[in-house]
A and B are shown apart, each in its own frame.
Chain A
Amino acid sequence: MEIERLADVFVEVADTLVADFDLIEFLHLVARHAADISGGAAAGLVLSDHVGNLHHVGASSEDARTLELYQVQNAEGPCLDAFRYRRPVVVLDLAEEVERWPMFAPHAIAAGMSSVFAFPMRLRDRVIGALNVFQTERQEIREAEVRLLQALADVATISLIQERAVSRAEVLTEQLQVALNSRIVIEQAKGAVARTFSVSVDEAFEMLRGHARTSRRRLTDVAHEVVTSPSGPALLRPG
């Protein structure tokens, strides 16, 4: 990746972080850049709840088949390993890891993936989630790319701690709950929009994002209004 593009990525990330940003939209952006940087087919971020379950919170592609690849990793997979063992996981050929991940590997291969990387989201002495990158063609990953992706995972981690009072241990718990609940609201809104306009949940997500962008509102706020206001999903009706 060229240095100019890399600079652009970090400028965009920093710009987004400055304003009153939407956490989920931001994590989405990080995932998209992670996919771009590595030439990957898909990238996603998972966060752990207090029980250690991993929840997908943002992804470069939200199609159901890809999302399933994050979900299945509650049982096994590179994200769970990166989370548990607190270090990056680099697998160039998934076909060689069927024994290691008897459920995840065939699942990912069936979805057309060949390589997979996972980077822990580290905060001081703990790991709160992982950044996951998939590639459809087996290719080497350079040391520089590994470091870059780990840096993006770290940026995503920092974005969770918006308050200045980082020293307050409770902030992390509060923010994680906000992130996890925001994601639930977005899923609920996807369902409501999909049914109202007879579109797929993936299309519904794009409609929600489009509306948030054009109305300059935060994605989570739009989703919340869609599922709680009397006008509901009709909010997104064009015109």
Chain B
Amino acid sequence: MSQPGPYPGRPPHDLARRLVAAAVADDLAAGGSLLHQLCHAAVRSLSVSGCVVHVVTGDGESGVAATSDERSNRVADLSFTTGDGPTLDAFTLRRPVLVSDLESERSRWPGFTESAVHREGIRAVFCFPLQVGGVNLGVLDLYSDRARTLDDAETALALAFTHLAALTILGDNQIGVDGRWEPLLDHRAEIHQAQGMVMVDLTVDLGEALVRMRAHAFSEGLPLIEVARAIIAGFVLPAATAGETPS
């Protein structure tokens, strides 16, 4: 379904990871966190004006975890001050909200649009929920100064950045540092089934279950899918895996 985009032939997850690695190496965000570097990598590679990562904690507290620039930070705040906006919709509806021209959808979010368009000069907004099934961690926003769409390749890359941001929030700090990541496109049903099982086995939340599975796979040097199959066959992850975060 992908058509050739800015970087034809490169799997988007691999590309996104390399772009974040390059941002870290160049220190694009000047000493910022991995999420800040990711925001800068997204802005640079997708030719957008800004990128924000919003994080919502388990008890419903939300905040901006990283931004590419000060204006994006102000736009991100608008959702909370005005009480509406595409970011909130993306989070509560658990779906991407892609608005290629805010002017034409003014009635959808009157408060947000008024300020975002007129005060901050934003015309297009693309909000991607940071989710893996039932794990819902926040939203990654992309802002553009001009009305525009994302083509298929750009959408794929934006989704890849979103996925990387979600894993980073879940505690995986290995983005871009080396080639340590499991292939991120592995969405085989067994991995998700096993995640639900670990949630029950260890009485942890669903996000933590994925972290534990990944940590175990890493410490045992196994592919994630093999760990998942073992879990489905009855294997229970040792509770001690909690402390063994890869270093």
Residues of A within 8 A of B (CB): 48-53, 55-56, 67, 71, 126-128, 168-170, 173-175, 177-178, 180-181, 184-185, 187-196, 201, 223-224, 227-228, 232-233
Contact = CB atoms under 8 A, between A and B. Distances in A.
B197 A174 contact: no
- Please report whether the interface of chain A is mostly helix, strand, loop or mixed according to DSSP: helix
Interface residues on chain B, size class: 35 or more
B100 A170 contact: yes
A128 B1 CA distance: 7
A106 B35 CA distance: 46
Nearest to A47: B1
Contacts, number: 119
B188 interface: yes
A131 to B, nearest CB: 16
B98 A173 contact: yes
A191 B1 contact: no
25 contacts: A50-B159, A51-B11, A51-B13, A51-B156, A52-B1, A53-B185, A127-B1, A169-B149, A170-B96, A170-B99, A173-B98, A173-B155, A180-B187, A184-B187, A188-B133, A188-B196, A188-B199, A191-B199, A192-B196, A194-B193, A194-B196, A194-B197, A195-B197, A201-B193, A227-B199
Given A170-B100, A190-B193, A191-B197, A177 B206 contact: no
B194 A191 contact: yes
B196 A195 contact: yes
Interface string B172-200: 00000000000001011100111111111
Contact of B133 (A51, A174, A181, A196): A181
B94 A193 contact: no
Contacts of A180: 187
Contacts of B188: 71
Contacts of A187: 133, 189, 192-193, 196
Contacts of B187: 49, 53, 55, 180, 184
B69 interface: no
Contacts of B95: 174-175, 177-178, 181
A47 to B, nearest CB: 10
What are the 9 A-B residue pairs with the smallest beta carbon separation, nearest first? A191-B196, A184-B133, A187-B192, A192-B196, A191-B193, A170-B98, A227-B134, A50-B156, A195-B200
Given A50-B1, A173-B96, A195-B200, 5 more contacts: A48-B1, A53-B185, A168-B100, A191-B196, A196-B200
A67 B189 contact: yes
Contacts of B85: none
A98 B174 CA distance: 42
Contacts of A52: 1-2
Contact of B232 (A56, A189, A201): A201
